[in-house]
Structure 1
Amino acid sequence: MSKIRVYELAKELGISSKKLIALLKDEFDVVVKNHMSVIEDEDAELIKELLQDSSKDDNEKECENIVDEYEKIAEEEVVNLAKKNKKKKNTDNKSNKANKDNISLNSDEVSDIIEVDETITVSDLASKLHQPIADVIKNLMLSGVMAAINQEINFEIAEKVAQKYNVELVKKEEDLDDRLAEEAQEHEEDDDANKVKRPPIITVMGHVDHGKTSLLDAIRKSRVTSSEAGGITQHIGAYTVRLNDEKITFLDTPGHEAFTAMRARGAQITDIVILVVAADDGIMPQTVEAINHCKAANVPVIVAINKIDRPGANIDRVKQELTEYGLVAEDWGGDTICVPVSAKTHEGIDNLLEMVLLTAEMLELKANPSRKANGTVVEAQLDKGRGAVATLLVQNGTLHSGDSIIVGSTYGRIRAMFSDSHKKIKNAGPSIPVEILGLSEVPEAGDRFHVVKDEKTARQMAEARKQKVREDNLNSSHRVSLEDFYNQIREGTVKELTIIVKADVQGSVEAIKSSLEKLSTDDVKVRVIHGAVGAITETDVTLATASNAVIIGFNVRPDSKAVSAADKEGVDIKTYRVIYEAIEDIKSAMIGMLEPEYKEVIVGKAEVRETYKISSVGTIAGCYVLDGKINRNNDIRVIRDGIVILEGKLSSLKRFKDDVKEVNAGYECGLTIEKFNDIKIGDVIESYTMQEIVRKEL
């Protein structure tokens, strides 16, 4: 027995699928799920016979009613709306008006189901419905909506109008980011043929006072020549220099913090890093941090040994120290380029730039200037006179003034574009930094930008991304943590546990790094990407965010900025007093046996402002409570310069002469610590409790 689909039968009957589905249920007691469901031919014939006469009468009556209503509406209003459009549109309207008596509601002339976007213009809707524009405007007016031909209406309004023509509208459920990916894919086919050499993008890093800024100034003064080559303005954050008709782009945001913050947002824009090391000072803590950040990002490093004009300069000592961190100079048999330079005398500057170009040549940096542009936001700000101002670094394609772009979750049309010398330009190719105006909001540094076909598409994409961000925040899953590490191994989401180690002394750092890396197995690798002495800082959390790492602190504590950043980014921070506890926790996490029973809760912090020594009592600390509250019965720890020097209990807590149980933030107090008198001004007393938590099953 043959069957027919609901939408096909609805088309034959000249009614909507929704109306037919309701009719089947109410009149024939036949329940169908949707327009794609099938019914028996016998039932279909019965329905046709029943509805044939009444449907014909209704259609004729409905047509007469619409013509009558149309004549009652003041035609002048419709014509006036149409006259606001182009002459071509007006010609179409006159033709449509002349044929108004031939308006047909026969569903055979229109599609039963039409897909549309979230919004649609009146003219596009009329085109999809195969109806005169004036008639669609009339129906909008009957619905209480005054809309011109080129005005956009939302899906709900369009759906009501379509129902009057027995047409069912369906909202497109297209992923706008997928559309962007498809557009990019269209250009990938001709990328190999159209790719040309592009300038390298350089970031300068190093320790404080080792000459990063001086080196950049020296490069700028010696190589930034004509206005075409580019000057430097402090607000744009990037500039271009020339050497032998070759361009090099420098990011004027040196330092590992900016470098890693951008990488944490998915922006891998640096091709080469110049690591500045002072010849008279050698490797310092920030130098080590910069090396580790570069290794984590897998970016080539060129070492600029600066200050060779100083009396105490020792180039060989710097090279020797570099070998301890896996950077072996070329003349010592390694693959790291080391260039002696002097920012003061400009000695070696040309050689350094030549080495940059040589490294860039080995990397074969290419881009396709003929495609739509994409790249990264270097920095952005809100200017009172100009609105949202963003510095973009074009990484592929060519950016033109007037292009519509989407930047992260914001969008806009480029109203004006300026070079690094603040001259107005019309286009910018790969690796060229530009400052643009015209964005709807201020984007974040590190946000990616793409050129799209029009501003409407950009706006839709931005709204979709904002919605996705809101959903991700509601359903956010934390980054890798020791508690759920074993689950992630089993699910295949992680194959490597990345760790950052901070300790009170260098010996502990090396011991923990060595012990943890020995825990690696064939299935899971433990990798320590950074180890240093000192308190856990916001920079460590930023690196952990970019590398999806766990931070382990030994005898050190995170500062307040690090704690808030870790909470915001979902970074796991673990602190220990015994090395073996850290090793056992990592080992247990790898085999799925970790069972944390307590969680440390910081109750309050107080700073020691004065000390008093009394022979019969000991040392009394006069403190000011910074935040939270200090409780007499809570455990405390004494922190000096970010390092824990004692964990213990309070023996007394007073306000003036009275013993008290607790002291809140903003008040002063006096306290003594059990069996400890070596309290100094500037120490921080941290009060905490251990809260029992319920362990989730693995």
Structure 2
Amino acid sequence: MRIHEAAKKLNIDSKILIEHLNKKGINVKSHMSTITEEELEIVKEIFKDERKEAKTEAKIEVKTEAKTEVKTETKTDVKKETPTQTVKKEIPLPEKKEIKKQETQVAAVQQEKKEAKNIIEVNKTITVGELAKQLEVKPTELIKKFFSLGLIVTINQTLSEEEIQIIVSEYGKEVKFKEIAGDDLFVEVVKDKEEDLTKRDPIVTIMGHVDHGKTSLLDAIRESNLVSKEAGGITQKIGAYKVETPHGGVVFLDTPGHAAFTAMRARGAKGADIVVLIVAADDGVMPQTIEAIDHAKAAQVPIIVAINKIDKEGVQPERIKQELTKYNLVPEEWGGTTQYVLVSAKKKIGIQELIEKIILEAEMLELKTNIKTLAEGVIIEGRLDKGRGPVGTVLIQRGKLKIGDPFITNFTYGKVRAIINDKGERLKEAVAVIPVEVLGFEDVPNSGDKFRVLESDKQVKEIATKRAIELRRMTEEKKKKKMTLEDFHKKIKLGVEKKLYLILKGDSVGSIEALADAIAKISAETDTNIQIIHKDVGDITENDVLLADASNAIIIGFFVTALPAAKELAVKEGVEIKIYHIIYEVVDAIKASLAGLLEPEYETVKIGEAEVRQKFFVESENKYIAGSYLKTGKVYHDSIVSIFRGNKEIIKGNVTSLKRFKDNVKEVKEGFEFGVVVDGYKDIQPGDVLVFYQEVQKVRKL
């Protein structure tokens, strides 16, 4: 654990923690140094004892004050009431219990004030200048503080949440981020009463390579003819369907490519419970197959493999299984955990078995929902219909949606004017889990946005108006907040980033494997977490950018280019694409970013030498000052110094004060006279030689 993290846990300043650790013989040099859990426990005990003592002292002080006040009040009251009579009735002193209660209340109020003073509330998007105002410091001071942490910023630069937390902790404060209006409405964790929960249908998405039979498989399951509506083998934007089977209902998401699936994950929404990976038995594992596996794994969604076209002659399903084991999709019969099904969408072979396996997987997931509440869900896709206006396909995941319900999404709002199911039927209400088309949006909703019904139109409009202002600002800043190699290096320096996600695209399998091996070697050597979430042959596509956006990853291309559409999307989403032609350039770029993770090493370097000419005692400061002449080099106000008498070293210590005439200075150069105070040493004599040193951080290479 780094020092600044430990200090934050203990609610103290990093400098104080460093002092206590050094006193205990634990050698740490800066807020970026690390300590073990055992060392942290030692410090916790020290502060525990100190706080106990402080608490006892405070308690005694409060008790004394309380008793004094009571006594004084009693005497004053007696004089006012009976100036010429003897008082028979005495006013009783408050009981001990009452005094104790008052003490507790006073202490609680003081503690609240103290805590309030140490917490600053800021927006999630704030500039350096704005934060300086909140901290009540000059912007230049704040910029210097960032610089001392290894981060160069400008006054108008927008800071990330991690950067804000780190810098605020340096000032001994905590930060509380202001929520955007309505943000709390989109928190996914909702505590329902157990009696309100009922078993729900699983949500499944079919993913795989083009022409491997995604729509044919859906056609076979639904016993309808959707294949004829395909154009050029690309699935049309039908959206989502609910299929009723003898084993229960199953909702299928049917989207072109993996756009909606990834967009939902990028916005924090859970779209699918299960992924059915379709692989053609006559074609095998293809680039989009691998891409689909990476998407599902990144979303941590279980995969069922459907090997299609088994009716064709000469196909070898076992070969497909063998190929997929490379991607950790080991069949159950081989001792793995992945369910495989052999199917033929054309001849409707294995369809029932596939549905049974989906139902079985769903039972293991124990899927439940509350249908008694207001509707919540996720936008599968949105479009502008010429006759009906903005339309959204909504997957209702919780509750009941009715005509007239006011609703809000991440970026728009509206009132339900119509509900249409996947068969084109108009409904009065839709109960979870079901995909429906909803009419009544103010603007076209985004794929992956969360959808929620509220109690009233007024509540919806108030929240939507407030959100619009903040969200516009956040959308502008979004590009700046995506991870880049430079950002990763900065975040390492701040101690807030230890994981790097990469997507590799290359011109050949060999070059990609060589690059992946080199990156794995860097990860092992530096004990850092570099994860390659997807690697493939070919140019960088929109799907690569979508995956990078959802995973906060960096795309590295090797002897490839980014397609124009991918470049455009990357600029829009703020995803970094780096293209290289030499493998060592990639390695060097990653090494440079990771260098900040290595613990710093220091070496002591001689910087100057001086001769003591006079010795002074300054009564006002109670210090002995050595009046000296700097023969070579220079000396700083925080240098290390060795005192030599003859050829023998007398003592080694630290410079605590450096003066030119009567002024304190930070540095003295060769050929000048100066005064110096050495910490804890008084017996300096004229003729002594002072040798000055400075601790310099070594540049560590990987």
TM-score relative to the length of structure 1: 0.56
CA distance in 2, matches of 1:235, 1:513: 36
CA distance in 2, matches of 1:483, 1:493: 14
- What is the CA deviation profile of residues 180-204 of structure 1, one whole-angstrom value per residue up to 9, with x for unaligned ones? 369x88xx44433311111111111
Report what 1:205 is aligned to: 207
SS at match of 2:569: helix
- Give the superposition deviation at 1:216: 1.0
Report what 2:259 is aligned to: 257
Q: Is the 8 A contact 1:204 1:255 kept in 2?
A: no
Moved more, 338-347 or 507-516: 507-516
Report what 1:299 is aligned to: 301
**Cα 1:317/1:181, change in 2 over 3 Å:** closer
Report what 2:365 is aligned to: 363
1:326 matched to 2:325: no
Q: Is the 8 A contact 1:223 1:242 kept in 2?
A: no
CA distance in 1, matches of 2:262, 2:412: 23
Report what 1:448 is aligned to: 450
Report what 2:484 is aligned to: 481
Q: Is the 8 A contact 1:206 1:290 kept in 2?
A: yes
CA distance in 1, matches of 2:495, 2:349: 52
SS at match of 1:592: helix
Q: Is the 8 A contact 1:373 1:397 kept in 2?
A: yes
1:177 matched to 2:190: no
SS at match of 1:176: coil
CA distance in 1, matches of 2:515, 2:184: 48
Q: Is the 8 A contact 1:401 1:426 kept in 2?
A: yes
CA distance in 1, matches of 2:502, 2:509: 16
- What is the CA deviation profile of residues 517-541 of structure 1, one whole-angstrom value per residue up to 9, with x for unaligned ones? 2322687300001111111122211
Report what 1:547 is aligned to: 551
Report what 1:437 is aligned to: 439
Report what 1:592 is aligned to: 596
1:290 matched to 2:292: yes
Amino acid at match of 1:469: L
SS at match of 2:540: coil
Report what 2:463 is aligned to: 461
Report what 1:339 is aligned to: 341
- Give the superposition deviation at 1:312: 2.1
Amino acid at match of 1:516: I
Kindly, what percent of the aligned residue pairs are identical? Answer: 51
1:387 to 370, 386, 389: 389
Q: Is the 8 A contact 1:538 1:561 kept in 2?
A: yes
1:219 matched to 2:203: no
2:580 to 576, 580, 597: 576
CA distance in 1, matches of 2:597, 2:560: 26
Report what 2:499 is aligned to: 496
- Give the superposition deviation at 1:384: 2.4
Matches within 5 A, 1:126-145: none
CA distance in 1, matches of 2:554, 2:341: 35
5+ residue gaps, structure 1, are: 1-172, 225-232, 595-698
CA distance in 1, matches of 2:180, 2:461: 14
Report what 2:59 is aligned to: none
- What is the CA deviation profile of residues 257-299 of structure 1, one whole-angstrom value per residue up to 9, with x for unaligned ones? 3422332333320111111111121111111111111111111
5+ residue gaps, structure 2, are: 1-177, 227-234, 599-702
CA distance in 2, matches of 1:381, 1:360: 31
Q: Is the 8 A contact 2:542 2:565 kept in 1?
A: yes
CA distance in 2, matches of 1:557, 1:238: 34
Matches within 5 A, 1:481-630: 481-520=484-523, 524-592=528-596
- What is the CA deviation profile of residues 35-90 of structure 1, one whole-angstrom value per residue up to 9, with x for unaligned ones? xxxxxxxxxxxxxxxxxxxxxxxxxxxxxxxxxxxxxxxxxxxxxxxxxxxxxxxx
SS at match of 1:484: helix
CA distance in 1, matches of 2:260, 2:385: 22
CA distance in 2, matches of 1:203, 1:354: 16
- What is the CA deviation profile of residues 546-569 of structure 1, one whole-angstrom value per residue up to 9, with x for unaligned ones? 110011111112122222221111
SS at match of 2:505: strand
Moved more, 297-306 or 365-374: 365-374
Amino acid at match of 1:385: G
CA distance in 2, matches of 1:178, 1:410: 13
SS at match of 2:534: strand
- Give the superposition deviation at 1:236: 4.9
Report what 2:319 is aligned to: 317
Moved more, 467-476 or 358-367: 467-476
- Give the superposition deviation at 1:494: 2.8
- Give the superposition deviation at 1:593: 9.8
Report what 1:643 is aligned to: none
SS at match of 2:481: coil
CA distance in 1, matches of 2:578, 2:341: 40
- Give the superposition deviation at 1:348: 0.3
Q: Is the 8 A contact 2:247 2:359 kept in 1?
A: no
SS at match of 1:395: strand
CA distance in 1, matches of 2:236, 2:573: 30
SS at match of 1:563: helix
Amino acid at match of 2:512: V
- Give the superposition deviation at 1:572: 1.3
Q: Is the 8 A contact 1:200 1:365 kept in 2?
A: yes
SS at match of 2:194: helix
Matches within 5 A, 1:25-64: none
Aligned residues: 411
Of structures 1 and 2, the one scoring higher in RCO (CA 8 A, sep 6+) is: 2
**Cα 1:190/1:212, change in 2 over 3 Å:** closer
SS at match of 2:490: helix
**Cα 1:556/1:175, change in 2 over 3 Å:** closer
Report what 2:626 is aligned to: none
Amino acid at match of 2:367: L
CA distance in 1, matches of 2:346, 2:179: 58
Q: Is the 8 A contact 1:395 1:430 kept in 2?
A: yes
Q: Is the 8 A contact 1:212 1:254 kept in 2?
A: no
**Cα 1:355/1:244, change in 2 over 3 Å:** same
Amino acid at match of 1:274: V
CA distance in 1, matches of 2:567, 2:596: 27
**Cα 1:174/1:555, change in 2 over 3 Å:** closer
CA distance in 2, matches of 1:425, 1:506: 52
SS at match of 2:572: helix
- Give the superposition deviation at 1:175: 5.0
- What is the CA deviation profile of residues 334-365 of structure 1, one whole-angstrom value per residue up to 9, with x for unaligned ones? 11101000011101000000000000110111
- Give the superposition deviation at 1:234: 6.9
Task: Give the superposed CA RMSD.
Answer: 2.4
CA distance in 2, matches of 1:358, 1:584: 48
Amino acid at match of 2:395: L
Amino acid at match of 1:530: H
SS at match of 1:483: helix
